[in-house]
Amino acid sequence: MKDTLLVVDDMEINRDILENIFSDSYKIIKAENGIEAIAMLNKHKDNICAVLLDIVMPEMDGFGVLDFMHKNGIDKVIPTVLITGDTSNESKQKGYSMGVSDVIEKPFDSQIVNTRINNIVELYKHKNGLEQLVDEQTAKIKHQADKIRTTNKKLWDTLGAIVEFRNHESGMHIYRVREFTRVLLEAVAANYPEYGLTDELIDAMAFASVMHDVGKINISDTILLKPGRLTDEEFEIMKTHTTKGSEIIDAVCDTDDELYFKFGRQIARSHHERYDGRGYPDGLSGDDIPLAAQIVAIADVYDALVSRRVYKPPFTPAEAFRMITNGECGQFNPKILDSLKIARPKFEELAKKLK
């Protein structure tokens, strides 16, 4: 508990008077100039409840002490009261502008100065206690949000893996797409700052990418596992995995985790939209397609091309890159394709690493 007053004055008699006034209520430490005061603050700041500070002193004056306290953030937790014989308005205004809580002129009445100092100490005690309470509550809320996010990530990984196993895949597709998504997002962030991609947004979009095919849970095995080309009717059913995916996310994800929920829903519904408007399910075009879905679309197509499927052997990374950039796999945002060119070495490294 803070119970110490720091008395700073170059006159011994003034230090003794102030010590006599407050010694029954506080521990007293004293300094006779600003240099000593700073040393005392560094040593005892965790116990100091207020500083009683003279202005005119040798070595370093009171304003020098105030400047030190401000630069080190000490003035936010320890109040300072000027007790000075300098009664000019200029000094008072300078003191208040530097954050002092009060200015008491010498000579002073002991009862008045005692009351004013006690009031200021109590005020700061409540202020610091309130700030600590706010910090504790903020930390508690953040911890709860982190728990929700961790739970949702585990849930999403599980749902994504279930889809992969139903596809007779190893489950690695969703993790490869996540890593391709992250790399591509980082390239877009570096080259197109207008998208405002922060580290937090990149992390959220990358993790949300595992939900891109979650709607396939609702697609029958006869269609999902069909080795040959789908009929037009079957393809229309397959296309519903986008809308079914967004419905599943609406149903199972905690809406308190707003950022991950939003991106997961966007990705599940819109990762088959195309920049020229020829995609599905909503026929969106251009930047009407959510950025997260645009990024995952390329990551998903790239991984599908370089991976072995029951209906095709894997293409080489070079072939996959050429097919995407030449428009053989649909139309994509030119800015994202430019970013893919920059990210190409990392894509090829990941394709080799995550086989």
The pLDDT tens digits for 218-276 are: 888 888 878 778 899 999 999 999 999 999 888 876 555 578 889 999 999 999 999 99
Domains of the chain are 4-108 (3.40.50.2300), 140-353 (1.10.3210.10)
CA diameter of the chain: 100
Q: Give 2-31 pLDDT, tens digit per residue.
A: 789 999 999 999 999 999 999 988 999 999
Phi, psi angle pair for 45, to nearest 5°: -60, -30
pLDDT for 287: 94
Q: Is the pLDDT of residue 154 over 80?
A: no
Q: Is the pLDDT of residue 171 over 60?
A: no
pLDDT for 182: 97
Nearest to 108 by CA among 54, 162, 34: 54
pLDDT for 130: 67
How many CB atoms lie under 10 A from the CB of residue 252? 12
pLDDT for 170: 47
Nearest to 154 by CA among 50, 257, 59, 301: 257
Residues, the chain: 355
Nearest to 217 by CA among 158, 292, 273, 166: 166
Considering Cα of 145, then 148, then 151, then 156, what sign does the dihedral take?
negative
Nearest to 264 by CA among 200, 213, 209: 209
pLDDT for 149: 65
Model confidence at 105, in pLDDT bands (50, 70, 90)? confident
Query: Which of 43-47, 76-80, 139-143, 247-251 is least confident?
Result: 139-143
* Mean pLDDT comparison of 143-157, 165-179, 236-250, highest-scoring range: 236-250
Considering Cα of 316, then 270, then 155, then 169, what sign does the dihedral take?
negative
Q: What percent of the chain has pLDDT over 70?
A: 86
Q: Which two tokens stand for residue 272?
A: 């088959």
Higher pLDDT, 1 or 353: 353
How far is 272 from 256, CA to CA, in rounded Å?
27
Contact in structure between 190 and 198 (CB atoms under 8 Å): no
Q: Give 314-354 pLDDT, tens digit per residue.
A: 899 999 999 999 999 989 999 999 999 999 999 999 888 87
How many CB atoms lie under 10 A from the CB of residue 175? 18
pLDDT for 156: 66
Q: Is the pLDDT of residue 282 over 60?
A: yes
